[in-house]
Amino acid sequence: MMNERFQPAAEHGAASGAPPQSQEQREALLALLRVATRLSADLDAPDIANRAVSLVVELLPGVDAALLWLVRRYDRRLTLAAADGSYAGPLREALRQQRIAFDPHMGGPGAALLQRQPQMFASREAYANDLQAVGAPGEPLRRFVADLPPALRVTRLPLLLGRTAVGVLELATLQAGAAPLLNDLPLLQAFSDQLVVALRNAQLYAETMLQQRRLEAFDAIVAAIASANDTQPMLERVLAPMLQLADARDGLIAIVEEGVARVAAVHGALAAVVAPDDRLDPDDALLIEAQQTGRPCLQPLDARHPWAALREHGVTSLAVVPLLAAAVPVGFLVVAVADERDSLAEWPALEALGTQIAVAIVNQQLYSASLRERRRLSSVIASLQEGVIICDRLGRIVLANPAAATILQRSLDQIQTRAELVEALQMRALDDQPLPFNGTPLLRTLQGESYTDYEIKVTRGTGETAILSVSGAPLLADDGSIDGGVIVFRDLTLQKQHEASRDEFLAVAAHELRAPLAAIKGYTDLLLQREAQRPDATERDRRGIQMLSRQIDHLVRLVDNLLNMSRLDAGRFDLYLQPVDLIPLIETCIDRVSIGDANHRFVFNGPETLPVMCDQLRMQQVFTNLLSNAARYSAPGTTITVDVWTESCAIEDGVVTGAGGSEQCVVIAVRDQGVGMTPEVQAKVFERYFRANTATSASGLGLGVYITREIVLRHGGKIWLESEVGKGTTFYVMLPIGGAS
């Protein structure tokens, strides 16, 4: 039952439920039908709320003003959506700066929704008292009502659609006489039911249009993201659809770079207060809140804000939507809000699209960084003097630098695969035999092999033969699989020609020097014998002849090394294997070196006898070279030790592969207490002509260790070293006791 205070005053006519006069009823019904018909036909009206109250005031007799309160979607509060009639204009002006929102549970217009029935106020005092009961939210409206005529009469109609509360329609008259239509609550409720259907239909139509607008915005944003190849143009293209979705005209997008938000795109009135590339204030409370919470934020635009000039364009608030990628803000969408409700309603969609834009920003940044690195790498590769060729995992050539074409004297643009490259270059080994299928450089890298200084022959585009030193490595994907291969090569042709000329000269010189040195050596030995037999010989004379003999021995070893090198190059370095007792052989070498070296102490540790199949002359060269080297790089007064022992070893195809097998090998270790070697020197010590640059080094050609290694390898053995700077070096030789097969 209605509250007694909501009943019309007796002087204003019959109570609710009293039948109106038939003529008045007909006029009221016709008026209500006209309003309902007009509203039903205005689905595409831009503002159905304003249209509804205008028709009510225009067509319903006795109604001087109409207020329409609608339920907000995001907090279910009632706000004034439209007003029309005699005091609507002054009311809107009075409430323009007020953000009145009624909680239905607190009374006021919401009471009609809670009671789900109309309310009537027969006087200004009754209506004002109801607003006063609401408290602060109703105070601005109550103060305005206080200036209206005392005859004010108000009827509230709840707008309900089933159990859904849509809003409240307030109809008012300022006339002293009773308005017949306002007395007929059943008729008005029937009208309100038609009105809420019309409003709901219009809302559904508006929501359909909004959904279409959203889809159009989504399509525009997705298209901009998909087609853009740079961050700046992409953001300029997505800003307008984002603002359209927020039903706003003014806004900007800023991206975070090195912790600072930089304006990338700006639209509308905001262009008057901020420009592209400007930096947003990092101390802005709204920006900080959005960054910390990762949620959209809204605040009124007050007169102290740097952008306060936007208020002249109808902007009341600023909204910030963080653009999140993996929960990290990579940018911000700033929207100048004129209607807070519309902006808040679209925040979920703006957040979802903001995430897509954030991911696109990150992808664009990664792509730009990758492109910069690729350009930098391409510039580096293009500037290299070495040739570089890169292929993908299928062997297709994807890059060849200018140096590669210069070295090979041919264009590589038409060569697409490694097979075509091998065929075009006629790749072959140094002995002119075609390279095996698994021996071609790019295929080795695609099989996961890394290598350096792989020497091959190729045919240049001019038809000339070139010798290349090739290094290669596989290119690995993130999961560790082989994604391609790269080879780097340099031209050794001139170097090989110079080496061949040098070796030829040294070989000729060695042959020419061998005979006179043999004669000098013979006469020197004869002088030593005679000097030893002379009774008047002095110690000084004997030391002088011994020094001469040692220097001649050194020259003989140099010449022998040159001759051995020439034999190696000519393929005439033959071995004469026979059973040899290794112990006397090593002792003889120690005696020979120690006789001419009074500065070092030589120590030998080993068995009394150890038969081995070897070339006695060649192995004598091995031990002499190692002992001479140890003496050359050791300080005077230090000890040089030779240890010999046997151990099990592994032998495959007559070649020692390592320790721990079923065969027996002999190991000879020559230890010194010299200067030692750095890892860089150790890697090169077995190379031809290499000499360590140390303070104690003596003269030499850098061939002794090289030839030693070749002799050991041709015996099927193995040679290696261990060294530490300042603590000395140990050379190890492992030989199969049965000799090379």
In single-letter form, the type of residue at position 152 comes to L
Residue that the structure tokens 């570089």 belong to? 388
Q: What is the pLDDT of residue 621?
A: 87
Q: What is the mean pLDDT of residues 529-545?
A: 75
Q: Does residue 539 or residue 99 have the better pLDDT?
A: 539
Question: Would you say 349 and 356 are in contact if contact means Cβ atoms under 8 Å apart?
Answer: no
* Lowest-confidence region among 85-89, 471-475, 498-502, 512-516: 512-516
Please determine, for residue 671, whether its predicted confidence score (pLDDT) is greater than 90: yes
Q: What is the pLDDT of residue 693?
A: 61
Question: Would you say 347 and 298 are in contact if contact means Cβ atoms under 8 Å apart?
Answer: no
pLDDT category at 188 given cuts 50, 70, 90 is confident
Please determine, for residue 98, whether its predicted confidence score (pLDDT) is greater than 60: no
Q: What's the 3-state SS for 122-141?
A: CCHHHHHHHHHHHCHHHHHH
- The three-class DSSP label of residue 731 is strand
Q: What is the pLDDT of residue 717?
A: 93
DSSP string, 210-279: HHHHHHHHHHHHHHHHHH-SSHHHHHHHHHHHHHHHTT-SEEEEEEEETTEEEEEEEEGGGGGT--TTPB
Question: Would you say 422 and 472 are in contact if contact means Cβ atoms under 8 Å apart?
Answer: no
Q: What is the mean pLDDT of residues 405-414?
A: 89
Q: Helix axis angle, 185-227 relative to 231-245, nearest 10°?
A: 170
Q: Helix axis angle, 347-383 relative to 231-245, nearest 10°?
A: 170
Q: What is the pLDDT of residue 13?
A: 34
pLDDT category at 44 given cuts 50, 70, 90 is low
Residue that the structure tokens 């052989």 belong to? 585
Q: Does residue 575 or residue 330 have the better pLDDT?
A: 330
Q: What is the pLDDT of residue 574?
A: 77
Q: What is the pLDDT of residue 17?
A: 43
Mean pLDDT of the chain: 82
* Lowest-confidence region among 99-108, 140-149, 392-401, 546-555: 546-555
φ/ψ bin of 700: left (φ > 0), alpha (ψ from -120 to 50), beta (otherwise): left
Question: Would you say 552 and 520 are in contact if contact means Cβ atoms under 8 Å apart?
Answer: yes
CA distances from 580 to 206, 585, 617, 739 (A): 108, 8, 10, 10
Residue 628 CB partners (closer than 8 Å, separation 6+): 557, 593, 704
pLDDT category at 643 given cuts 50, 70, 90 is very high
Q: What is the pLDDT of residue 332?
A: 92
- The three-class DSSP label of residue 301 is coil
Q: What is the pLDDT of residue 18?
A: 43
Dist CA 199 CA 65 (whole Å): 19
Please determine, for residue 696, whether its predicted confidence score (pLDDT) is greater than 60: no
Residue that the structure tokens 């002794």 belong to? 704
Q: Helix axis angle, 48-59 relative to 22-40, nearest 10°?
A: 160
pLDDT category at 3 given cuts 50, 70, 90 is very low
The b/e string for 85-100 (b: 16+ C-beta within 10 A; e otherwise) is: bebbeebeeeeeeeeb
What is the helix (H) or strand (E) element at residue 613, kind and residue range?
Answer: strand 611-614
Q: Angle at the Cα of 6 (from 118 to 20), degrees rounded to 5?
A: 70
Dist CA 406 CA 60 (whole Å): 95
Dist CA 556 CA 686 (whole Å): 21
DSSP string, 37-62: HHHHT-TT-S-HHHHHHHHHHHHSTT
Please determine, for residue 21, whether its predicted confidence score (pLDDT) is greater than 50: no
Q: Per this entry, what is the length of the chain?
A: 741
Question: Would you say 65 and 226 are in contact if contact means Cβ atoms under 8 Å apart?
Answer: no
Q: What pLDDT digit, counting tens, does each position of 196-224 carry?
A: 887 777 777 777 877 787 788 778 878 87
Q: What is the mean pLDDT of residues 105-131?
A: 87
Q: What is the mean pLDDT of residues 473-477?
A: 93
Q: What pLDDT digit, counting tens, does each position of 274-324 carry?
A: 999 999 888 888 888 888 888 888 888 888 888 888 888 888 888 899 999
Q: Helix axis angle, 704-714 relative to 616-632, nearest 10°?
A: 150
State pTM to two decimals. Answer: 0.46
Q: For the chain, state the CA radius of gyration.
A: 51
Please determine, for residue 156, whether its predicted confidence score (pLDDT) is greater than 70: yes
Question: Would you say 390 and 380 are in contact if contact means Cβ atoms under 8 Å apart?
Answer: no
Q: What is the pLDDT of residue 4?
A: 34
Dist CA 314 CA 337 (whole Å): 8
- Residue 522: burial class (beta carbons within 10 Å; 0-12, 13-18, 19+): exposed
Q: Angle at the Cα of 24 (from 20 to 26), degrees rounded to 5?
A: 105
The b/e string for 258-270 (b: 16+ C-beta within 10 A; e otherwise) is: eeebebbbbbbbb
Q: What is the mean pLDDT of residues 177-201?
A: 74
Question: Would you say 31 and 58 are in contact if contact means Cβ atoms under 8 Å apart?
Answer: no
Dist CA 668 CA 623 (whole Å): 9
Q: What is the mean pLDDT of residues 113-139?
A: 86
Question: Would you say 735 and 613 are in contact if contact means Cβ atoms under 8 Å apart?
Answer: no
* Lowest-confidence region among 202-206, 406-410, 733-737: 202-206
pLDDT category at 249 given cuts 50, 70, 90 is confident
